[in-house]
Structure 1
Amino acid sequence: MNIGERIIRLRKDKGWSQNELAKMLGTSGPIIGRYERNEMVPSVEVAKNLADAFETTLDYLVDETGKQAEIKDKAMLNRVVEIEHLDQEDKKTILQVIDSLLRDAKAKKAYAMPA
């Protein structure tokens, strides 16, 4: 997926028009359209502003290799970075708690009654 396709998808996921996104970035709807059609490539600064608006990471937005960033949610990425900086014992405790919460969520989903 190229950057234009990713901008379209992220914008539509947010329910924004090109003009609404443009207003947030201080540009125009036609410029957003040109980005989405890959007629123009946003500058690094604009790409960073797009990533911020979409609450994702810059690497997720611009990765054209077909490999998506493992973590596209910026808030989640910040949490992972914070955990990474903890000492080993605290990191182990937090990961054990996360693992048990994930296990419970998966079990709940697996045994949920269809509506």
Structure 2
Amino acid sequence: MAFARKQKKIKQSDLGKTIGTSGDIIGKYERATTIADALGFTLNYLVKDGQYEQIDNDTLNKLKAIQELDNDTKAHNFATIDVFIKASKIKNIAAL
């Protein structure tokens, strides 16, 4: 978040005013992002009480990369992932 703000050459206080909060709050969000990165969690995990605790940064980055693909390639990737998920579920059921 800080990187994007700095690229736009916007001060924390100015961004805070734009969205109706303070520069201090913007600073807290930016520090939380840094902490999330250091811990290997998503920012959502930290601010939403673990609601997305199973989504680590590596998985999130891969999902973001897939999101940027054209629709056909994205569909192919999802179909491949579906095959592996189904195979894993079958393996787990068979192990019972």
TM-score (norm 2): 0.62
SS in 2 for 1:56: coil
Higher relative contact order (CA 8 A, sep 6+): 1
- In structure 1, runs of 5+ residues without a counterpart are 1-41
Structure 1 distance, partners of 2:76, 2:94, is: 27
User: 1-side partners of 2:53 and 2:38: how far apart?
Assistant: 19
Equivalent-residue separation in structure 2 for 1:72 and 1:104 (angstroms): 21
Aligned partner of 2:75 in structure 1 is 92
Cα distance in 2 for residues equivalent to 1:96 and 1:79 = 15
**Which ranges of 4 or more aligned residues in structure 1 deviate by more than 2 Å?**
42-46, 69-72
User: Structure 2: 5+ residue runs without aligned partners?
Assistant: 1-26
Q: Give the Cα separation in 2 of the matches to 1:43 and 1:93.
A: 40
TM-score normalized by the length of structure 1: 0.53
CA RMSD of aligned residues (A): 2.3
Q: Could you tell me how far 1:97 is from its partner in structure 2?
A: 0.5
SS of the equivalent of 2:95 reads coil
Give yes or no for contact 2:40–2:57 (8 Å, CA) kept in 1. Answer: yes
Deviations 1:42-69 (A, max 9, x none): 93333222211221111210125xx713
Q: How many residues align?
A: 70
Q: In proportion to residue count, which structure has more helix?
A: 2
